[in-house]
Structure 1
């Protein structure tokens, strides 16, 4: 079982390079960072993970993920680095293609791009996203990214993503590009989306039972879309708690999950110290 660490980075967390290097030294397979652009001053969206339904204040202070990953790439040599998740519809796809390809180049092919459409209606609206159609926007962005990463004189004509023939470099080291994992949580809709256009799935809090149920469905639908189901990778993001037990890791692996990403804490004021606190999870996985 591969073990990743997710750290919520703010200006108080310390240097992303030092945190990622500590994760690498401790044996983590991957290092992930989160993204939110802004928190509107007024909103009605209910946040289910807080007692009062309010969006955590630190979401407004999260470091730009690609700045953090560029620093992490420079400070490490082996650990994979990624987003969990990038709110892709809120970003310009051409700019995103360039920054992700640049990070993949300088990290020598270590980038994992976890993407999602977002759940925070007011944030999406501030960023110019048609919230009701954000999933279509996400799919178009993923398709456009892959074209920009792999070809020249490429164009895209979707409903939300549009650009004329362009040349864009650099190209990623990974071919045809960094793996794109879908961070959607709702199995009712996520399964088909993963099967149709993602390289893998990284839902939050997926139970072993749900993994056993959903992964075969995704693989079956992938075949229907003419894709190779064996090339899909399944990860699970675990939020809070003491981390998975050895037995839970075995059960996840038997269900088809190859990576568990453990969230360090709600917000990391000392990222190095918090990552060190997760060392026992890596040690447990290494014994399996």
Structure 2
């Protein structure tokens, strides 16, 4: 089972190149950066998960993930480069496909796309998309990008995304393109994963609950005629202060997880304020423990 880490990348987080080098040197398998292009002032949408609360201030200061990951690509050779998650309904599909293909080439085929529809209505609408149709726009964008990545004269005619035959190069190193993992939770998300995506990347929770979720995903896959083994499962996990224990790592692997990406709101606040390297190093024992699992 692979171990990645996600950072809250802001102008105050530290030198992205230095952070990426350290992530690779410490043996992490992947380096993820999240996305919120904007946070509308005074938004009214409830936060995901219920329970009230307020959105951490640093969400409004996040860097563009693809620019930051390009810096990481330039100073690393092995670590995979992921988005966690990219809000595709808020992006123009053709330019986004070209950006991702370019990053995949420059990194030697190391891109992982965690994608989602977004939860913040005011943000979606500020970026020019309709909140009510964001899931359809997400699916059509994914379908369109795959056409752009694989065909010499791609065209796509969806309800929301459409373009005539055109040239769109370069193509990604990974064939037929970088893996696309859907974020989110719930029965509808599982259906969407099975229908369209290469894998699933939710907030994982404890090993026991994650196992129930993965079992449910496998059942949906079987019912829809898809081989469950073709679905890659990653999970964002909030680690304890000293990382995830060997016992829990074994449980996550037995549950069916292929990758865990370390990320917690508490650490993210500290990362956004300049403590990123300290946290990356503090959690590195998780990588060593995972390597001991056969």
TM-score bracket, shorter-length normalisation: over 0.9
Separation in 2 of the partners of 1:15 and 1:225? 45
Aligned pairs for 1:1-288 (under 5 A) are 1-47=1-47, 53-184=53-184, 186-239=185-238, 241-242=240-241, 243-263=243-263, 265-267=267-269, 268=271, 269-288=274-293
Cα distance change on mapping 1:240 and 1:286 into 2, 3 Å: closer
Cα distance change on mapping 1:119 and 1:241 into 2, 3 Å: farther
Separation in 2 of the partners of 1:48 and 1:118? 10
Separation in 1 of the partners of 2:284 and 2:234? 19
Separation in 2 of the partners of 1:274 and 1:161? 40
TM-score when scaled to structure 1?
A: 0.94
Separation in 2 of the partners of 1:96 and 1:223? 32
Separation in 2 of the partners of 1:152 and 1:42? 45
TM-score when scaled to structure 2?
A: 0.92
* Count of matched residue pairs: 287
| CA apart distance, 1:248 | 1.1
Separation in 2 of the partners of 1:277 and 1:21? 15
Is residue 12–residue 270 contact of structure 1 (8 Å, CA) maintained in 2? Answer: no
Bigger shift: residues 260-269 or 61-70? 260-269
Separation in 2 of the partners of 1:197 and 1:50? 28
| CA apart distance, 1:182 | 0.6
Give unpaired runs (5+ residues) of structure 1: none
Give unpaired runs (5+ residues) of structure 2: none
| CA apart distance, 1:63 | 0.6
CA RMSD of aligned residues (A): 1.8
Q: Match of 1:63, SS?
A: coil
